[in-house]
Amino acid sequence: MDQQQIIGILRETGVMQEGHFLLTSGRHSDRYMQCARLFEHPGHSAALCAALASLFADSSIDIVAGPALGGIILAYEVARQLGARNLFAERVDGVMTLRRGFAIPEESRVLVVEDVVTTGGSVREVLALVRAAGAQAVGVGAIVDRSGGAVDFGVPFRAAVSMDIASWDAADCPLCRQGIPVVKPGSRKSAAPGA
């Protein structure tokens, strides 16, 4: 599957949205990738997860882990495609943690996946959990890399599609200066600055 086919699926499923958005990272953007919409369409999501899994097919993955919420279904399907275990991390009092009896055995080879990477904050938190368990983070995968390849996790980072989508600090946001209302469509609760 090539980049144009993937972008076509993202448009068709309503993943790619335009407007004025407050991202999970706290930055603002004129485009938002609502990857949860992808998972409304099992055929499309399986195809994109297969494309992502194929990028790590030779990495001997034991576990695929993702952050809640965006990485839960993605991690499951990529793990299924790779024949690996699946788990997810979630926030408790603002701190990413493993719950529900999940554990990462020492020396496991772990692939961390996320639906969309902008700054990579959630991925870094999951990577820290992997390393704290004494396991080896062998890579990071994403459906969409919004940074255009600018994020460095210290391990191989591969995405089904990579786009350089502009984002701004709230103080520098041209959309705020135009008075365009900001929308917070993501999974984490937070109020827009000045809201």
Angle ∠(87,122,100) on CA atoms, nearest 5: 30
Architecture of domain 3-177: 3-Layer(aba) Sandwich (3.40)
Q: Where are the domains of the chain?
A: 3-177
* Strand-by-strand arrangement of the 28-33 sheet: 16-22, 28-33, 167-168
Regarding beta strands 85-92 and 95-97, do their DSSP bridges make them parallel or antiparallel, or are they unpaired?
A: antiparallel
186 pLDDT band (50/70/90 cuts)? low
pTM of the predicted protein model: 0.85
Percentage of residues in the chain with pLDDT exceeding 90? 75
Question: Tokens 């870094």 — which residue?
Answer: 124
In this predicted structure, what is the pLDDT of residue 194? Answer: 34
pLDDT in tens, 125-170: 999 999 999 999 999 999 999 888 889 999 999 999 998 888 899 9
In this predicted structure, what is the pLDDT of residue 96? Answer: 94
119 pLDDT band (50/70/90 cuts)? confident
